[in-house]
Amino acid sequence: MRSLGTVAFPIALVSLLAALTFWLERAANPEDPVRKAQKRHDPDSIVSQIDVRHFDASGLLKQSMLADSMTHYPDDNSTWVDKPQLTYFMGQQTTQLLANTAQVSHDNKQVLLRGDVRLIKPSIDDRPMTVMQTEALTVFPDDNIAQGNSRTTILQGKSVVSGDSIRYDGNTSITILSGRVKGTFYRVKKS
């Protein structure tokens, strides 16, 4: 006859291994619904007909954004905007940015515009309206700077210039095109 200790030890060892396996499986695959929800790319908020305005310290309107809708995703803290229309106000001058979609960074310091991106500056005094067109543009709203690495075309009156990448400084109204740049400029004759 075998002793009780020689029979009980293998049973206790197998039971311990089974419990350890169960615990490891639970730790590796938690059933917590909050954790499962965080793994999915589901929105936690959707807002329609957006109208957001930013003011400077003195109360003057600095920027505004209109959009069809805005969707926030908590898993990566991303915000997507449909049909954004950004307007920057600098004194009497306005600059407008339009696109099909935009992705806003979690800190609102960077906006990636995609699809039929247009920057429009109305005519001022003797300078005709300026329209910049590209497929993707990154905007830094607080710095009033936009840049992109997609083919960009700028129209000003009859003049046309295009390049492979762009950097626009809204504070100085300086535009820098890089890469394969080509253009046709028309001079307005003064009487």
Domain ranges of the chain: 4-30, 42-184
Q: 28-44 as b/e, with b when 16 or more CB fall inside 10 Å?
A: eeeeeeeeeeeeeeeee
**C-alpha torsion angle, residues 52, 54, 55, 61 (rounded to 10):** -60
Q: Determine the pLDDT at residue 160.
A: 94
Is 184 exposed, middle or buried (CB count within 10 Å of its CB: 0-12, 13-18, 19+)? exposed
Query: Coil, strand or helix: which one is 45?
Result: strand
Q: Determine the pLDDT at residue 30.
A: 62
The CA-CA-CA angle for residues 158, 120, 153, to 5°, reads 55
In contact, 33 and 48? CB cutoff 8 Å: no
Q: Determine the pLDDT at residue 3.
A: 61
Q: Determine the pLDDT at residue 150.
A: 92
Q: Hey, what are 172's tokens?
A: 């100085």
CATH class of the region 42-184: mainly beta
User: What is the pTM (predicted TM-score) of this model?
Assistant: 0.70
Q: How do the pLDDT tens digits run along the chain, 191 residues long?
A: 556 556 666 676 667 677 677 777 767 766 666 566 556 778 888 889 988 888 888 988 888 889 999 998 888 788 899 999 988 887 778 889 899 999 988 888 888 999 999 989 888 887 889 999 999 999 888 888 989 999 999 999 899 999 999 998 878 888 899 999 999 988 777 66
Q: Phi-psi bin for 152: left (phi > 0), alpha (psi -120 to 50), beta?
A: beta
